[in-house]
Structure 1
Amino acid sequence: MTNQQALIPPVIWAQRNTVVFVTICVEDCKTPNIKIEPEQIVFHGVAGLQQKVYELTIPLYAAVEPENSKTSIGGRYIEIVLQKPPSDTKYWPYLTKEKKKYHWLKVDFKKWKDEDDSEDESAAAGSVLGGDGNIDDMLSLMEGGGGGSTGSKIPNFGRDYNVPSDEDSDDEEMPDLDDIESDTAVND
């Protein structure tokens, strides 16, 4: 490894009443060093084919519970689910302490729920997840995508378009190419 300057990885975030989702977007980071502290997240890792060095310290808007927070390492990203203290479930206006716009930080609109929606979600989470909607269930849904596979806790409300169906709208057999050529020769 050379003495190259560390880069800042792209980060996206979202939140709910009880948790904050932070996704660090680095590809192929084999052994990341992630330290979740009550007031900050510290990340260091070497990633990609070029073995680029990434470092980042995020001073959090409010305190979290590191012992109840979870980390999941994927091929293209590292997902962190920060558990808010039970006494502090208000929404954060920013991920960081400073009211500053960072070029590397964006909102994850796929996971974002407004404060009003989270009340409905917490009631629905218990029924959909088959439990109390705890952080381990949320993390397992993020890893597996929650797409209605055999072991999934979320029912498959839609159809899985990757699995062939018995009911096909094109049930007629296609004519052979020889038949088509002979028909066009007769019509000419």
Structure 2
Amino acid sequence: MADKSSMRVPPMIWAQRKDKVWLTFRLENVKDPVIDLTADKLHFKGNGGPDNHPHEITLEFYSEIIPEDSKHHNSGRDIVFLLKKKDQETSFWPRLLKDTKKPHFLKTDFDKWKDEDDSDQEENENYGLDDMMSSMGGLPPGMMNSMGGMGGMPGMGGMPGMGGMPGMEEFTPDDNKENEEDSDDDDLPDLQ
């Protein structure tokens, strides 16, 4: 095994809810990693990445978790941890780690992130698109969930010719037939 000086730290992303933390090691092709999860720490060691380099890190959490209720999954592309918070009444952690210094290898997982003041509704999340569109004057709240595509936008008339928009004529495939008759394509030489 490689010495400590040649060990790398795996890149990570994290997100949280009131009761849990997601931690993802973005390290592919890790075979048989050594994972030691306790109430206040996570130790990881394993070879991975495109060059199968050794990686190792010990993380000391901001607050305690429940190791026996926590899980992890190695997908081959990454290793995802779902860590159950011990004190669920304290709510959101201000950071993942006990150390106040921001580590360079740890980023926010914006796909899973939710702020403390966001609603607890996790079903049918649209990540604020309803609010954004209604504040722009485009769609009434709730419309984004029912839209199947551009055809649902008001004033767009189903989009093919934008018939509902002022100043835009409806286009149908038959409108192009008059242009086909005087096409210059007939005068082209054969390809050899």
Q: What TM bracket, shorter-length normalisation?
A: 0.5 to 0.7
Q: 1:87 to 1:106 in 2, by over 3 A?
A: closer
Inter-partner Cα distance in structure 1 for 2:64 and 2:2: 36
Q: Does 1:100 align with 2:101?
A: yes
Match of 2:8 in 1: 7
Greater relative CO, 1 or 2 (CA 8 Å, sep 6+): 1
Contact 2:15 2:21 in 1 (8 A): yes
Q: Which runs of 5+ in 1 are unaligned?
A: 130-155, 161-166
Match of 1:76 in 2: 77
Q: 1:171 to 1:74 in 2, by over 3 A?
A: farther
Inter-partner Cα distance in structure 2 for 1:8 and 1:78: 14
SS of the residue corresponding to residue 82 of structure 1 reads: strand
Match of 1:27 in 2: 28
Q: Which runs of 5+ in 2 are unaligned?
A: 125-144, 150-157, 161-170
SS of the residue corresponding to residue 116 of structure 1 reads: coil
Once the two structures are superposed, what CA deviation does each residue of 1:67-92 show, in whole Å capped at 9, x if it has no partner? 11111212321111110125544211
Contact 1:18 1:89 in 2 (8 A): no
Q: TM-score, normalised by structure 1?
A: 0.64
CA drift at 1:63: 0.4
Inter-partner Cα distance in structure 2 for 1:51 and 1:83: 30
Structure showing greater radius of gyration is 2
Contact 2:29 2:76 in 1 (8 A): yes
Inter-partner Cα distance in structure 2 for 1:171 and 1:27: 50
Q: 1:87 to 1:181 in 2, by over 3 A?
A: closer
Give the letter for the 1:28 counterpart.
N
Contact 1:15 1:21 in 2 (8 A): yes
Contact 2:29 2:52 in 1 (8 A): no
Match of 2:115 in 1: 114
Inter-partner Cα distance in structure 1 for 2:146 and 2:30: 34
Aligned pairs (5 A) from 1:10-89? 10-85=11-86, 87-89=88-90
Inter-partner Cα distance in structure 2 for 1:56 and 1:158: 45
Inter-partner Cα distance in structure 1 for 2:94 and 2:51: 36
Match of 2:137 in 1: none
CA drift at 1:11: 1.3
SS of the residue corresponding to residue 98 of structure 1 reads: coil
Aligned pairs (5 A) from 1:127-166? 128=123, 159=148
Contact 1:29 1:75 in 2 (8 A): yes
Give the letter for the 1:77 counterpart.
D
Match of 1:164 in 2: none
Inter-partner Cα distance in structure 2 for 1:66 and 1:181: 72
Q: TM-score, normalised by structure 2?
A: 0.63
> Quick one: percent identity of the two aligned structures?
35
CA drift at 1:103: 1.1
Q: 1:159 to 1:55 in 2, by over 3 A?
A: farther
Contact 2:25 2:78 in 1 (8 A): yes
SS of the residue corresponding to residue 28 of structure 1 reads: coil
